[in-house]
Structure 1
Amino acid sequence: MAVLPIRIIGDPVLHSPASLVDEITDEIRTLVADMYETMDAAPGVGLAAPQVGVPLRIYTYSYVDDDEQPWRGVLINPVLWISPPEPGAPDPDEESEGCLSFPGERFPLRRSDRVLLTAIDLEGAAVRIEVDGWRARIMQHEFDHLDGILYVDRLSDGDWKTVQKIARKRGWGKPGVSWTPGIDDLES
């Protein structure tokens, strides 16, 4: 297993829809193992294949639920159903999120409180996940990566302008910029 470089905003693989996985091969299994290691090293609660430069519809996740039970998994070719989010501005204390592809920053974003996903796992078995709250946020965030959408693309105009200033200041927003957990220090 290896910790992979994580692409940063501006890299084309992050801004294009990912392709379906046709077959679960040894290469896919290795990719998923590397994604887990990279996600844990970052640390993050989710990581999509495009974030490590692979344009495939795969993401890993890892979180602890309300009952202190750990959940860890991989979704391959997921399909997402959401209910519309409540109207109004997001609560910055309760609805902020961050992203390993825009590291070190958090912005408020309104998301649906409940989601249902279907997918397959590494053995090709059907997976069905129905979650709410913070777990629903994780699933929506990672699913967006598969469609070439970063959470910062969904922000209000004011926050989007702040994102652009940060990206320019840090030399992001262009192809080929990445960071490797455990190696690169991204402190601003």
Structure 2
Amino acid sequence: MTIRPIIEAPDPRLRVKSTPVETVDDDLRALIADMFETMYEAPGIGLAAIQIGVPKRVLVIDLQEEEDADGQPIRKPLVFINPELTDPSEDLNIYNEGCLSVPDQYAEVERPAAIHARWLDEKGVQHDEAITGLLATCLQHEMDHLEGILFIDHLSRLKREMVLKKLEKAKRQKKAA
């Protein structure tokens, strides 16, 4: 497993639409292992392959909502290959989202509270489920990456420009340090 560099906005590679996975094989499973390693190291709760420069329709999620007796997060890794979302609910949730490709920037985004999803897992097994809560929000956020969309694209132009200016300022300060 390898920790890979995460591409950051405004890199144009984040705007590439990802292509479907043709075969679930050992090479893909190695990519998935790298994605989890990279996501956990960052740390984050979701990562799309495009965020590490691979324009394939693969994403990983681990909400890490529970902790063990030592206070360590309990890992429940989920893999979504060629995911499709349908039947978004009319009920909406607002969640303060962040993104590993837009580091240290957060904003409230409104998304459907429930969705229906179809996908393959890392063994090539088909899943078809209704999804709600934080997982629904995270899955929609990561699915946006597969379409070349960032969470800041859901903001008003003014808020989006403010986030991008903060991001650029942070990058300049990091280089100067």
Output the TM-score relative to the length of structure 1.
0.80
Cα deviation 1:117-175 (Å, max 9, x = unaligned): 10111111102232212221101000100000010111122311212312332459xxx
* Partner Cα separation in structure 1 for residue 18 and residue 168 of structure 2: 26
List alignment gaps of at least 5 residues for structure 2: 69-73
What count of residue pairs does the alignment treat as equivalent?
168
* Partner Cα separation in structure 1 for residue 168 and residue 40 of structure 2: 28
Q: 2:84 aligns with which of 68, 71, 79?
A: 79
Q: Is the 8 A contact 1:80 1:116 kept in 2?
A: yes
Match of 2:166 in 1: 166
* Partner Cα separation in structure 1 for residue 50 and residue 132 of structure 2: 25
Shift of 1:55: 0.2
Give the structure with the higher percent helix. Answer: 2
**Aligned partner of residue 55 in structure 2, secondary structure:** coil
List alignment gaps of at least 5 residues for structure 1: 173-184
* Partner Cα separation in structure 2 for residue 157 and residue 79 of structure 1: 28
Shift of 1:101: 0.2
User: Which amino acid is 2:162 matched to?
Assistant: T
* Partner Cα separation in structure 1 for residue 60 and residue 85 of structure 2: 15
Identity of aligned residues (%): 36
Counterparts of 1:33-112 in structure 2, within 5 Å, are: 33-64=33-64, 71-81=76-86, 82-84=88-90, 86=92, 95-112=95-112
**Aligned partner of residue 104 in structure 1, secondary structure:** strand
* Partner Cα separation in structure 1 for residue 85 and residue 113 of structure 2: 13
Q: Is the 8 A contact 1:13 1:54 kept in 2?
A: no
Q: 1:71 to 1:154 in 2, by over 3 A?
A: same
Q: Is the 8 A contact 2:103 2:167 kept in 1?
A: no
Counterparts of 1:108-147 in structure 2, within 5 Å, are: 108-147=108-147
* Partner Cα separation in structure 1 for residue 128 and residue 12 of structure 2: 30
RMSD (Å) for aligned C-alpha atoms: 2.4
Output the TM-score relative to the length of structure 2.
0.85
Q: Is the 8 A contact 2:45 2:64 kept in 1?
A: no
* Partner Cα separation in structure 1 for residue 90 and residue 145 of structure 2: 19
Residue 23 in structure 1 maps to residue 28 in structure 2: no
Shift of 1:16: 1.4
* Partner Cα separation in structure 1 for residue 91 and residue 3 of structure 2: 35
